[in-house]
């Protein structure tokens, strides 16, 4: 998980960012102030990504990432028990992985799909609503005179920095076409049936038709 290529993100700090995050830690506030002097753009994640491509993780970076992962795992006690039990089992790599996407695949759902793709998963279904390289995460604002509310992104995310095609559209390896959907009578589970068919379980698809 730590070695998976996640790409990078560029943040823009601003007075609006500070207004949305009222109580940053002293360390975080100092970091924000440092980047505000450069127009508010924080390229440290991109710089770290480029450094990892050249030299890999430094011992200190790996240690920090392991500690960060353990912290996030500890926040979900039920998952932490499964995770701890899994670390004591032999390493296992699946022969094949498939991930289903739909037009509603975005945000955290898209992140998981993209991560699995980078581990060799094949994508089945409909192209996702979200692009791999896009603006994400938003700040809330209210216009002074009209009182209208709105949101504006403060982060540029490059999930596929070296793959402009996938960065623009995560196209499935096996796409759910209109013809296939119509042939199944517009079954809402058509993507699942397409995946079963692709994996060689055509008898299961035939049975579900009956």
The tens digit of pLDDT for each residue in 9-61 reads 999 988 888 788 766 678 877 877 777 766 788 898 999 899 888 888 888 88
Q: What's the sign of the alpha-carbon dihedral 174, 178, 183, 184?
A: positive
* pLDDT at residue 4 in the model: 73
Contact call for residues 106 and 128 (beta carbons, < 8 A): yes
Tokens 């996938």, residue? 166
Question: What distance in Å separates the CA atoms of residue 14 and residue 41, rounded to the nearest whole number?
Answer: 9
pLDDT exceeds cutoff 60 at 208: no
Residue 181 has pLDDT above 90, yes or no: yes
pLDDT at 37: 67
Question: What is the C-alpha to C-alpha distance for residues 12 and 43, in angstroms, rounded to an integer?
Answer: 9
Please answer whether residues 137 and 14 qualify as being in contact, where contact means their C-beta atoms are separated by less than 8 angstroms.
Answer: no
Residue range 172-190: average pLDDT? Answer: 95
pLDDT at 38: 64
* 3-state class (DSSP) for residue 155: strand
* Cβ-based neighbour number of residue 132 at 10 Å: 24
Please, are residues 184 and 193 in contact by the beta-carbon 8 Å criterion?
yes
For 56-80, what is the mean pLDDT? 88
Reported as a single tens digit per residue, the pLDDT across 123-161 is 999 999 999 999 999 999 999 999 999 999 999 999 999
User: By the 8 A CB rule, do 27 and 176 touch?
Assistant: no
Kindly state the DSSP code that residue 4 receives in the 8-state scheme: S
From the list 123, 131, 133, 125, the residue with the least C-alpha distance to 106 is 131
**Structure pTM?**
0.77
Question: What pLDDT, on a 0 to 100 scale, did the predictor assign at position 6?
Answer: 84
| Lookup: tokens for 94 | 């699946």
């Amino acid at each position: 998980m730590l070695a998976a290529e996640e790409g990078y993100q560029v943040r823009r700090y601003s007075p609006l960012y500070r207004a949305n995050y009222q109580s940053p830690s002293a360390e975080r506030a100092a970091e924000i102030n440092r980047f505000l002097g450069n127009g508010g753009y924080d390229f440290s994640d991109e710089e770290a990504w480029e450094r990892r491509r050249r030299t890999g993780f430094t011992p200190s970076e790996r240690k920090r990432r392991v500690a960060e992962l353990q912290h996030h795992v500890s926040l979900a006690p039920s998952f932490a028990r499964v995770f701890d039990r899994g670390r004591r089992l032999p390493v296992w790599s699946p022969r094949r992985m498939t991930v289903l996407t739909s037009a509603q695949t975005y945000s955290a759902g898209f992140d998981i799909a993209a991560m699995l793709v980078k581990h060799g998963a094949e994508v089945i279904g409909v192209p996702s609503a979200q692009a791999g390289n896009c603006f994400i995460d938003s700040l809330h604002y209210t216009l002074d005179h009209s009182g209208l509310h709105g949101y504006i992104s403060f982060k540029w995310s490059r999930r596929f920095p070296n793959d402009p095609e996938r960065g623009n559209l995560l196209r499935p390896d096996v796409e759910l076409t209109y013809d296939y959907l119509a042939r199944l009578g517009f079954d809402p589970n058509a993507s699942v049936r397409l995946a079963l068919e692709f994996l060689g379980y055509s008898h299961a698809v035939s049975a579900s038709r009956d």
